[in-house]
Amino acid sequence: MRTRLHVSRIVSGWLIAALGCGAFAWAAERRAQPPSFAKDAYRGTFFESAAEAIRGERPLVGQGLTGSPRTEATAGGKAAATTPGGEPATADTGFTKLISPATLEDEVKRVRLEFDGAVSTPAAFKAGDYQKARLHLTTLASLFAVIVEHQGEVRWKKDAAAARDLLARSAANCKSGSLQVFNETKLRRSDLEDLTSGSGLANREAEPQNDWSTIADRVPLMQYAEQLLDGQLKPSSQNAEAVKAEADKLSRAAELMAVVGQILRTEGLTDADDEAYAALCGELTSASQGVSLALDQGDAAAVGRAVGAIQQACNKCHENYR
């Protein structure tokens, strides 16, 4: 009898211990509910993506071992910089610091849609839409040229040089509304549709480096700058409420305006060797960067002043250069 009572007490002790361990394990498994935040609570505090946080030229694979990009001898006896994969290395001309890959991609898509609208019928094209098509073709050719020189991970990088040449050539021809020009611009519309849909261009043959004298035309680029200023920057910076509501639009337009200022003073473009003109282009880029800085600091008044400086730079330039 005593033995049975002893065994019973032992079993009971085991059960109590087991239940106690189970309760402890259950308590340990309990987790606090995760905090919830408003969607835009930390906008401007953290980067939207890793690409936006990176500034300057990214290091090449193997660069830590060699100290510089690998070089190969050219026919002229000079050494041309190449990537470890053997492709020509494009020099960073400053665009990487001025504009993000996301802004480039978004603007290509936006301008492409406007270009589609300018290539509707031969009659509308001849009546004046060819001028809109020329503006959009020049803008797109310039954007793809920027992608060629950009050191970030931008979509359409492999096709950028070929797209640049096709669009620039059609832009140069788009000075009349003839049926031949209309048919050519329709081909460019098809090319852009293939490119942006992910199919890519059938022919990628192109010079790896930009020849800006054959890509950008000052008159259409100035028209594009005016659209950025009057259509986006000025309306979105009228007061603190507008700046807060349109911060993203302001940021993109400021980056694009900074790029325009950089392109306009690039070697090969009209008056690029004129010191006064180059200084005005520099003011345009600096003022545009001022908009971005003021947005980062949340200073609506400084945003307005920077947009005013952009307007002044444009006005001074238009007084002597067209």
Give the model confidence (pLDDT) of 100-114 as tens digits: 999 999 999 999 999
Examine the pLDDT at 165 and tell me if it is beyond 70.
Answer: yes
Whole-number pLDDT of residue 31: 59
Same domain, 186 and 284: no
Decide if 273 is inside a domain.
yes
Decide if 195 is inside a domain.
yes
Decide if 27 is inside a domain.
no
Decide if 10 is inside a domain.
no
Same domain, 198 and 111: yes
Same domain, 314 and 242: yes
Looking up residue 253, the CATH number of its domain turns out to be 1.20.120.10
Same domain, 257 and 185: no
Half-sphere exposure of 299 (CA within 13 A, CB side): 13
Last residue of some domain: 190, 216, 242?
A: 216
Q: What is the residue range of 182's domain?
A: 88-216
Decide if 57 is inside a domain.
no
CA distances from 309 to 149, 300, 301, 322 (A): 27, 14, 13, 19
Same domain, 226 and 205: no
What's CA 181's distance to the chain center, in Å? 30
Q: Residue 298 region, left (φ>0) first, then alpha (ψ -120 to 50), else beta?
A: left
Same domain, 129 and 235: no
Examine the pLDDT at 87 and tell me if it is beyond 80.
Answer: no
pLDDT classification of 126: cutoffs 50, 70, 90:
very high
Rounded to an integer, the average pLDDT of 281-289 is 95
Examine the pLDDT at 208 and tell me if it is beyond 80.
Answer: yes
Same domain, 261 and 227: yes
Rounded to an integer, the average pLDDT of 145-171 is 96
Same domain, 105 and 192: yes
The total number of structural domains in the chain stands at 2
Decide if 51 is inside a domain.
no
Whole-number pLDDT of residue 66: 33
Higher pLDDT, 124 or 318: 124
Rounded to an integer, the average pLDDT of 211-231 is 94
Rounded to an integer, the average pLDDT of 299-315 is 94
Last residue of some domain: 216, 239, 267?
A: 216
Rounded to an integer, the average pLDDT of 1-19 is 49
Tokens of 211: 């020849």
pLDDT digits (tens, 9 = 90+) for 24-61: 444 445 555 666 655 555 444 444 555 444 444 444 33
Examine the pLDDT at 270 and tell me if it is beyond 60.
Answer: yes
Same domain, 99 and 192: yes
Rounded to an integer, the average pLDDT of 58-78 is 35
Whole-number pLDDT of residue 52: 47
CA distances from 38 to 34, 35, 42, 179, 311 (A): 13, 10, 8, 54, 36
Q: Output the pTM of the full model.
A: 0.72
| Amino acid letter, residue 299 | D
Examine the pLDDT at 9 and tell me if it is beyond 60.
Answer: no
Same domain, 102 and 210: yes
Whole-number pLDDT of residue 178: 96
Decide if 50 is inside a domain.
no
81, β-bridge pairs: 71
Among 148, 149, 114, CA closest to 134:
114
Whether the Cβ atoms of residue 285 and residue 237 lie closer than 8 Å to each other: no
CA distances from 69 to 15, 62, 114, 164, 259 (A): 71, 8, 40, 26, 26
Same domain, 240 and 270: yes
Same domain, 191 and 300: no
Last residue of some domain: 216, 231, 249?
A: 216
Q: Which of 39-48, 264-273, 281-290 has the lowest mean pLDDT?
A: 39-48
Mean pLDDT of the chain: 80
